[in-house]
Structures are given as C-alpha cells and as structure tokens.
Amino acid sequence: MIVNPLRDPRDRRLPRVPDPCALVVFGITGDLARKKLLPAVYDLANRGLLPTNFALLGFARRDWGDTDFAELARDAARKAARTPWREEVWERLAGSVRFVQGSFDDDNAFDELAGALADLESSHGIGGNAAFYLSIPPSMFPVVLKQMERTGMAESTRDRWRRVVVEKPFGHDLTSSRELNELVDSVFSAEDVFRIDHYLGKETVQNLMALRFANTLFEPIWNGHHVDSVQITMAEDVGIGGRAGFYEKTGAARDVLQNHLLQLLALTAMEEPVEFSAEEIRTEKLKVLRAVSLPDDLRAAAIRGQYEQGWLAGQRADGYRQEEGVDPASKTETYAAVRLGVETRRWAGVPFYLRTGKRLPRRVTEIALVFKRAPHLPFADTDTEELGNNQLVVRVQPDEGVTLKFGSKVPGSVMEVRDVSMDFLYGEQFTEASPEAYERLLLDVLLGDATLFPRNAEVEASWAVIDPLEEFWASTTPYPYRAGEWGPRAADEMLAAEGRRWRRP
C-alpha cells in the first residue's frame, strides 16, 4: 500500500492504493463479471485507486484473443460504469488486459495462465501479486482450485501475495459449505480467502456501524428494554430474470436469507467491536450468528411463498412457474419470512422478523427498529389513536439514509398526536456519490483488507440457521402471492398473531 510518510499511516481518510498486482477472473463471460466486476475495475481506475502496475486477466472457454476480451470488457464497463466514461482511462487499462483460453480441466491452459502471470511480472511489474476471482458455479471450484495448487499459483510467499475471492452461495447447506471451506482452505491460507457478500460493501450497511458506534444517541436504546421488534426487509420488484437454472435449485432462503439478511441481522445485533478491524468485527458478528434461535414451532414462524401472475408498475408479470426454465410444478420459494430470536442479554425476547421476496411492489432494503410503546400516555385515547410505535429505519437502498418516526402534535386546538418522520438522506448531505459495493470490495481484496468479508465460521453458523428451515419447508408447498403484492397473506398473519404488522416501506 502506498502511504504518504508525512501523514499518520493509520489515517484511513487517505485514498488507499493497492500494491502492483493482477486480477484474474474465472467466468469472465458470465453475468456477474459483465454487470459488476468489469465496471467496478473501470470505476476504480477512473478514481485513481488502482496501482499503476495493474493487469486484468480473463479466463474462459471462448476462442478469443486479448483484443476480443478487451472489447468485451470495454463494452461491459462502458454500459454499467458508475463514473463518467473517459476513453483515456480505458486505453491505459486496455494495455494490460490479457485473455487465456481453456477449460477448467485443461492442464495446458492453466500452465499458460501461470506463464501469463509470470510474463506480466516482467512486462508490467505486477510484483507477482494476484487475486483470483472465482465467478463460476461452486461445482467448478474443486477442479479450478486443484489446478491452482498444481501450478503453484495459489502460493503466497514473503515477496508476493496470492488471494482468492469466492462468490456466494457458499455451499448448499452446512455439510456442503464445510466441504467447500475445507477445500478452499487446503489450497489457500485462511487470510488469503475473501468470501464476498456484496451487501457488506454497501455504504449504508457500513453506516449502520457508524450510526451505532460513533454516536451516543442510539446505543442506550438499542436493546430489548426499548426495542419491541426488529424488521429486516429485502424486497425486489424484479423476478428471477434469466437465472431459472440457478434459482430453481436455490430459492429465496439460500439465495439471500442465508447471507445478506443474516449479515444485516448480525450487524444490527452485535456488540461493539474492540476496534474496527476484520478480526474484531467478524468475532462480534459470529457471536450473534451463533446466538440466533428458531422458534420450536416453525409452522407459525417460517413462511415461504411463490409469486403468481400479477401486475407490477402497470405491466403484466408472469408467475414464477411460467418463467422460462422453471418446472411448471416447482416448489421453489421466491419469498421467505421468518421470526428469529437472538439469545443474548441485549436481545432476549425481541423478535427479529426477516423477509425477502421477488416480484414485490418495489425494490427496497431496510432495517427497522420498532420501539416499545410509551408505558403511559397522559392523553385521551382518541387523541393518540393514530399514533404508531416509534421507529428507527436504516434505509439500505434506494434513497439511502436513516428515518426516525415519532409522534408529534397535529396543529390545531386539540391535543391530537400523530406519527411524523425525520429524514437523513445521503444524497442531500454528501456531494460524493456512494461507490458500488463491488468497487469497494474489489479494492479491499487487492488491499488485503478483510473487514467486510464474512469468515467461514460465520458462513457455517448461518447455514446452521437455514438448514432446519429448509428441512421443514421440504415437505410444504409455498403459499402463492400475486406479483406486485407484499408476499403471501400467511406472512401478514404471522405478525398479526403476535399483535404486530409488517412495515409497508
């Protein structure tokens, strides 16, 4: 990392620029690479955050040369870049773009890849450092990892680092995730493994820690004495797009509940870390994940649904079973809602309601702390009948910010009290737009900063929550809901039975 010697090296406000290095992407022609990774590489270059000596290598089966790959990369970056397009930035990057053609079981191709890395060392001074991004189906991990081991590519030494980036889903259940972890750990050392959960790269998710631990206002009420319940929502208006093959085998719980939502829960419920470092933050999150409990009777606390044909933003939307590539009798869930507990002194007795779904009315992710009602109100019942619970809502996306909902007097001659809200909007307070999650996380991989990456024990603790749910759901059929509705009625009934209701963000 290049640091200005005149400034305190611990000053994290300084732009952090990684060592000279190469980024090798397996699965370069896939959706993730085109829509997220390549644009993120360009945006980092455009912001001056890549080292001068940087190389990008693509590995895929296509019969391409460096120029074909550079063209694909340029198109992809241009289409989805967050920052303005500057041809000269791309031109500089394009000079160090390489493509290696081959299949994963082809020894020659991996020898060639190792050779390309060695060549880049002499031609582009990458210093032997490389990060390997596995943007490929997990079933391909074993063969690719073995190839890296065979060719010695996975080996970090005193003079160079080698890192691997693994995309979710990290396995299919606890057993398979253990196997996967063992496999990755047998080839790379633990500190060189980066498991990406892109929600942790979102600015607002990181702001949750700032909100809690940089202020005095919130922490005293951030517990079961004051909080009635917590609602964590990740709603999407989109369907499954062209991903039927993946989604049919996965479903909403494995796709996002196991990772994004449980990570949000962990950050919401964790204790203050001793310091803002990977080790300490991961330790606190892990404690929460290990303390998560499921109710004994899952029938009333674990609801899953599947969208049927409906309407969204004035457009007719197909049902899940009519989507291309989906079994017409599919029982895969596209919606999941669960009530979890966190068995710690801070949270005992506070329900954490988590829900996620596709084809819901709008795209919104938020964490809402719903506070207990005042134990006594000195007003007549009729004056406060429209008053809800106080709420603190962290809006992860869109309209990133924080909202505080509380009661206020309605202007007039009577003492009527109604809910109002106070808003903090990122877009209004800061002029700089938030970086994309992948921009932040890629940069962190190259810097070797693992703060925003879950540790394998967290992944396993999360599967330990999901496995019993999946087992219970295996013998059930998801409740139907119409595309454009807020999920199945059973999910509303789950909260109503406990005297609560879902927020309608």
Residue 203 in the binding site for ligand BG6 (CB under 6 A): no
Q: For residues 40 and 57, which CB has a smaller minimum distance to ligand BG6 in the complex?
A: 40
Q: State the residue number with the nearest CB to ligand BG6.
A: 255
Nearer to ligand BG6, 256 or 289 (CB): 256
Residue 327 zone, left/alpha/beta (φ > 0; ψ -120 to 50; rest): beta
Round to whole Å and give the CA distance between 405 and 393: 8
**How far apart are CB 142 and ligand BG6 at their closest, in Å?**
22
Q: Does 255 bind ligand BG6 (CB under 6 A)?
A: yes
Q: List the catalytic residue out of 198, 226, 260, 376.
A: 260
Nearer to ligand BG6, 81 or 109 (CB): 81
How many residues at the interface with ligand BG6, by CB under 6 A?
3
Verify binding: residue 167, ligand BG6, rule CB under 6 A: no
CB of 501 to ligand BG6, least distance (A): 24
| Single residue of 236, 333, 400, 470 touching ligand BG6 by CB under 6 A | 236
- Residue closer to ligand BG6, measured from CB, 301 or 469: 469
Q: How far is the CB of 176 from ligand BG6 (least distance, A)?
A: 17
H or E stretch covering 263? helix 262-269
Which strand (E) or helix (H) includes residue 58? strand 54-60
Ordered DSSP codes for 148-207: HHHTTTT---SS--EEEEEESP--SSHHHHHHHHHHHHHHS-GGGEEEE-GGGGSHHHHH
Backbone φ, ψ for residue 193 (5° rounding): -105, 125
Residue 139 or 431: the one with the smaller Cβ distance to ligand BG6 is 139
Least distance to ligand BG6 from the beta carbon of 250, Å? 8
Its sign, for the CA torsion 171, 173, 174, 179, is negative
Cβ-based nearer residue to ligand BG6, 236 or 470:
236
Confirm whether 260 is a catalytic residue: yes
Rounded least distance, CB 61 to ligand BG6, Å: 23
Distances 504 to 80, 105, 158, 168, 456 between C-alpha atoms, Å: 31, 50, 54, 29, 34
**Among 164, 166, 244, 256, which residue sits at the site for ligand BG6 (rule: CB under 6 A)?**
256
* Coil, strand or helix at 266: helix
DSSP run (H or E) holding 59: strand 54-60
Shortest Cβ distance from residue 293 to ligand BG6 (Å)? 25
Nearest to 300 by CA among 251, 351, 263: 351
Q: Which of 369, 213, 368 is nearest to 284 (CA)?
A: 213
Residues of this chain that interact with ligand BG6 (CB under 6 A) are 236, 255-256
Catalytic residues: 260
